[in-house]
Amino acid sequence: MAILKTRVKKYLEANSKTWEAEQDNIKLQNDSDGNGDYIHTWNVSGLAKPTDEQLATYNSAATTEENNNVIRSTRRSAYGDIGDQLDEIYKDIDAWKARIKSIKDANPKE
């Protein structure tokens, strides 16, 4: 299951809001009591606090986003420094294209 923050983010987006704009109005908390994360404070203007059932409907999209974020990070690391990439392009663009394609093929997005 996707983490609570990502499910909340998807809920906000589905209701024409963004996490970046609303993060100061939402407090997520974990009391270390075995019950996991929950929404402690919700002060989003014009949008009701989501129920667990509502958040569950965003789990698939949130999981896909989290998985793709891992892939993006893996790709960024494998691509290497942009300066080195530009030098590689200048010297042999075909070799650069082949290397980048192999990285993308090895790390496909969902």
Domains (ranges, CATH) in the chain?
4-79 (3.30.56)
DSSP E strands: which ranges in the chain? 26-30, 37-42
Q: Is 86 helix (H, G, I), strand (E, B) or coil?
A: helix
Model confidence pLDDT, tens digit, residues 60-79? 999 999 999 999 999 999 99
pLDDT of residue 2: 86
What is the reported pTM?
Answer: 0.77
Q: 39: exposed, middle or buried (C-beta count within 10 Å: 0-12, 13-18, 19+)?
A: middle
